[in-house]
Amino acid sequence: MNFELLILGTGSATPVLNRHPSAFLLCIENESFLIDCGEGTQYRLLEHKVKSTRIRHIFISHLHGDHYFGLIGLLSSWNLNQRKESVTIFAPRGLAEILTIQFKHSDTKINFKINFVETDTENIHSILDTNLVSVETIPLHHRIPCCGFLFRSKASKRKILAEKLPENFPIPYIKMLKDGLDISDEFSGEVFLNKDFTTTGSVSKSFAYCSDTAYNELKINQLQNVDAIYHEATFTESELKRAQQTNHSTARQAATIAKKINANQLIIGHYSSRYKILDAHLSESIEVFANTFLAEEGKTYKI
């Protein structure tokens, strides 16, 4: 199963020229999930030739501008480009009002359906459940209501080895094989062992998005054993006090969470504009959690 994260923005609130504000595209099979949408995200999507029709769900962690100021432009452009597919936007209370008032003053009628879903940022809450994926909120600790998102793709059934099946093999038997059953044919007495005709399906994968947040351990139970976690690391330990004052995390704190949840992979980002190079972020994170990657814009991380 294709399950990968494209990084569109690694910056934080203060703008700098070589980093863009937060935006991420999680791609699972043929679906793309946009997570946060800082100013200019629509241009990043153009750069990376992302098909907008594959984005049917947008997740906004909180209403600080570096996480959503690009949304009004993206939606307006989709409308100009005659989008017809509906989109569901998960965000804290307030976003619908902000978007609606802007559409009103520009006399814009959006020709596709926008479903607004208000997130509960205080509790773990299931917000999406499809054949492909389930998503729940991750309560985070920030200056304003803010939550992350835990994505779990669904494991698929066993895959049929079509070339091994007899001709005209009955369809009900194929379904039974997919479900992992052996088959004993009543009429012919023939036996079809599942292991001879199928192989394993795809396994469930999980990804946790945690930005912006002060260090807090409340999410440790919820996120046990995730395959990958993106955790903000606005600062390094040398700015621990500043991190605490602003409800952000250091790279070491991000790594500590990754270790405590027994993650397989940690991606850190949301770097403060004060850091021109990120060697200290990487080294202090690796000390605690070896499998750390620095988020780099334009790079895709297989999970």
Q: Is the dihedral of CA 283, 288, 294, 300 positive or negative?
A: positive
Q: Give least dist CB 143 to a second copy, A.
A: 7
- Two tokens, residue 17: 């020229």
User: Judged by CB under 8 A, which stretch of 71-79, 132-140, 189-197, 280-288 contacts a second copy?
Assistant: 71-79
Q: Does the bond joining 212 to the residue before it have cis omega, within 30 degrees of 0?
A: yes
**Residue selected from 53, 85, 86, 97 as contacting a second copy according to rule CB under 8 A:** 97
Considering only residues 33 to 62 of the shown chain, the ones binding a second copy according to CB under 8 A are 39-40, 42-43, 46-47
Which helix (H) or strand (E) covers residue 117, if one does? strand 114-118
Binding status of residue 163 toward a second copy by CB under 8 A: no
- Residue in 1, 31, 56, 73 binding a second copy, rule: CB under 8 A: 73
* Residue 65 binds a second copy, judged by CB under 8 A: yes
Residue 15 interacts with a second copy (CB under 8 A)?
yes
> 55 or 133, CB closer to a second copy?
55
The yes-or-no answer on residue 66 being catalytic is yes
Beta strand 265-269 pairing with 228-232: parallel
Using a 10 angstrom Cβ sphere, with 0-12 exposed, 13-18 middle and 19 or more buried, the burial of residue 216 is middle
Q: Identify residue 164 by its one-letter amino acid code.
A: K
Q: Is 111 in the site for a second copy (CB under 8 A)?
A: no
Stretch that binds a second copy, among 75-83, 178-186, 199-207, 210-218 (CB under 8 A): 75-83
Residues 203-242, mask of contacts with a second copy (x by CB under 8 A): ----------------------------------------
User: Judged by CB under 8 A, does residue 257 bind a second copy?
Assistant: no
Least separation in angstroms between residue 17's CB and a second copy is 5
* Listed residue (39, 90, 25, 100) closest to 69, CA to CA: 39
Nearest CA to 28 out of 160, 204, 266 is that of 204
Piece in contact with a second copy (CB under 8 A), picked from 70-78, 200-208, 237-245, 295-303: 70-78
Decide: is 72 part of the binding site for a second copy (CB under 8 A).
yes
State whether the Cα torsion 174-179-181-185 is positive or negative. negative
Closest residue by Cα to residue 229 from 190, 195, 255, 194 = 255
User: Catalytic: which of 66, 179, 182, 227?
Assistant: 66
Q: Does 64 bind a second copy (CB under 8 A)?
A: yes
Determine the Cα–Cα distance for residues 182 and 190; give it in Å rounded to an integer.
11
> Using alpha carbons only, how large is the chain's radius of gyration in Å?
22
Token digits of residue 32: 């793309």
Quote the least distance from Cβ 15 to a second copy, whole Å.
5
Q: How far apart are CA 202 and CA 213, in angstroms?
A: 32
Among 113, 143, 164, 274, interactor with a second copy by CB under 8 A? 143
CB of 146 to a second copy, least distance (A): 11
Reference 231, options 284, 269, 282, 265; nearest CA is: 269
Catalytic residues: 66
Given the rule CB under 8 A, which residues bind a second copy? 13-17, 39-40, 42-43, 46-47, 63-65, 69-70, 72-73, 76-77, 80-81, 94-95, 97-98, 101-102, 104-107, 143-144
